[in-house]
Structure formats: structure tokens, C-alpha cells
Amino acid sequence: MHLLFDKIHETVSYIQSQTTVQPTTGIVLGSGLGGLIDVVDIITEIPYHHIPHFPVSTVEGHAGKLVFGKLGNHPVVLMAGRFHYYEGYSMEEVTFPIRVMKGLGVETVILSNAAGGMNELYQVGDIVIIKDCINLFPEHPLRGKNDERLGVRFLDMSEPFDRQLIEKAQQIATQQSLKVHTGVYVGLQGPTFETRAEYKWLYIIGGDVVGMSTVPEVIVARHGGMKVFAASIVTDLGIRDELNTISHEEVLEAANKAAPKLAALVAALVTTS
């Protein structure tokens, strides 16, 4: 059997044969946030289907390539198009690119997503810096035999999101006159949006926003000892009124509208580190 460890290193070797960039920051571009690519000086692009062991993304609005370049002076890798559990990928596949980032030398992972808002203070288009998360996925990415070369068996998750990065992002937001919230992200599998009763429940258990990604990637990034920063764009308000229907189109539209603000925040966060 092909061990995960060996697969990661085959993939890393292939990527290193294709680019000279040695990224220290890895950025996962969630729904509608592909625009960050526009502020990166691109050096190499590798479509997922060229990369050994990489899954290929299927969702509309999610291109599929790794982009290597410079954000300011910082060598970065961008994941344009991510893998969602609801698409049918295994947890190992969903989080494989994060393992590869670690293998490439990445020290900080930045994740973005579109999310439904439960917190009553949030509006559509708001940005939420994620300070903690609740894992409601039905499968755990670290389930199974643990390979100590990749990380510890029992991982501490008392502070999954790097406090210094959160504080810095808050300061940058103030400088940019950008309103940001700081909240708790609940991750569940989808692909249905939540019922009204579920949104209410998610709020009661401590969630501020909800989405179908991010949590598995955060867990694996922490397993690999990388620092994590994550932010959501609020694309709909789950618990607000009787007739709050949601469509994927509305989610993408709201995410696209707010994306430049989040891109500017992330760009400043990376370039001033």
C-alpha cells in the first residue's frame, strides 16, 4: 500500500521539479476569492490534473490549480480551487494539499471561505476573522493509524488559529477602515444549506458562522505544526426571518462582492509578516 507520507513526498518532488518558488505561506482561496491571484506576481501555475496524487476539483466557480509566486516579497502558494467533503472526496483527499504545503516548506496557512451567518450582528458581505471552530464533520481527517512523521496522535486544539495573526489582521482592518468581526466557525459536511432549526441550534452551541469547508484543513495544518489564519465572508443570514432561502448563486454573488476587501486584508497580512 502507498503510504500517505510517500505520496506527499512524491507530490512535493514533482512540484519542486516544476517551480523555483519555495513558499512559506500557503493560501487556500475559498468561494469567490480567486481575485487574490490578481495581486500575486505569478511565477508558476500547475493545474491539479498534472500533479501526482492530487484530486481534481468539480464545483463550479472553483478553478483547479496551484499558483506559485510572490505577494510583495513573500513566496506564496495559492490553492485556486479546493476539495470539499460533500463532493465525495475522502478526508485524506480533502486535506492532501495542506500536507503538500507542509512538505514544500509552508509555515503559515491562510484559509478563506463563504459562510452563513448566525450571529445577529452580522450582515451579508461582512468579513469574519475566525478565532475558533466547531467540528461537526462526520469523519475526522486524523482518523486511522497515525504516522508520527506527519504529526502527533492526540493533537492539542486549544488554539487552532494563531493569536498573533488574528491581532495583526484586526489592526490592519482598522487601518483599512474595514469592519471585521471575530467569531466561531462551525464546519459541517453539506451539501444542503441548513434548516432554520439547524441554524438556530448552531448559534446556541456557540457558532457565529457556518460553512462546508475549512475545519478539516485547519486540523491537518495544525497536525503539521503550521500556523493558521482563516476568515469567512458572510454570504447569507440563516436565522433572520421566515423566508430566508439560499442558493449557491446568491452565495457566490455575495462572496464575489466582498472578496476584494478580504483580498486586501490577506495581502497586507502576508506582506507585513
Kindly list the distances between the CA atom of residue 66 and the CA atoms of 69, 84, 104, 145, in Å, as whole numbers in the listed order.
10, 16, 12, 29
CB of 45 to ligand HPA, least distance (A): 27
Which window, 131-139, 159-167, 232-240, 262-270, contacts ligand HPA (CB under 6 A)?
232-240
Q: Among candidates 256, 239, 244, which has minimal Cα distance to 122?
A: 239
CB within 8 Å of 131: residues ≥ 6 apart: 161, 166, 182, 183, 184
CB of 61 to ligand HPA, least distance (A): 12
Give the residue with the Cβ less far from ligand HPA, 141 or 211.
211
Cell numbers linked to 207: 457558532
Give the residue with the Cβ less far from ligand HPA, 13 or 195.
195
CB of 31 to ligand HPA, least distance (A): 7
Name the residue with cell 457566490: 252
Kindly list the distances between the CA atom of residue 146 and the CA atoms of 65, 104, 143, 150, 157, in Å, as whole numbers in the listed order.
29, 21, 8, 8, 17
124 scored as a contact of ligand HPA (CB under 6 A): no
Give the residue with the Cβ less far from ligand HPA, 101 or 262.
262
Handedness of CA 96, 98, 104, 105 (dihedral sign): negative
116 scored as a contact of ligand HPA (CB under 6 A): yes
251 scored as a contact of ligand HPA (CB under 6 A): yes
230 scored as a contact of ligand HPA (CB under 6 A): no
Cell numbers linked to 272: 507585513
- Tell me how crowded residue 156 is: count the other CB atoms within 10 A of its CB: 8
Give the residue with the Cβ less far from ligand HPA, 22 or 195.
195
Among 226, 236, 258, 263, binds ligand HPA (CB under 6 A): 236
211 scored as a contact of ligand HPA (CB under 6 A): yes
Cα distance between residue 52 and residue 10, in whole Å: 7
Q: 91-104 vs 215-223: helix axis angle to the nearest 10?
A: 40
Q: How many Cα neighbours within 13 Å face the side chain of 210?
A: 29
Among 23, 69, 103, 238, binds ligand HPA (CB under 6 A): 238
235 scored as a contact of ligand HPA (CB under 6 A): yes
127 scored as a contact of ligand HPA (CB under 6 A): no
Give the residue with the Cβ less far from ligand HPA, 109 or 212.
212
Which window, 42-50, 114-122, 173-181, 216-224, contacts ligand HPA (CB under 6 A)?
114-122
Q: Among candidates 235, 247, 237, 241, which has minimal Cα distance to 192?
A: 247
32 scored as a contact of ligand HPA (CB under 6 A): no
Q: Which of residues 75-94 bind ligand HPA (CB under 6 A)?
A: none
Which window, 57-65, 129-137, 206-214, 216-224, contacts ligand HPA (CB under 6 A)?
206-214
CB 100 within 8 A of CB 11: yes
Give the residue with the Cβ less far from ligand HPA, 216 or 238.
238
Q: How far is CA 100 from the centre of its chain?
A: 15
Cα distance between residue 95 and residue 213, in whole Å: 10
Q: Which residues are at the interface with ligand HPA (CB under 6 A)?
A: 114-116, 190, 193-194, 210-212, 235-236, 238, 246, 251
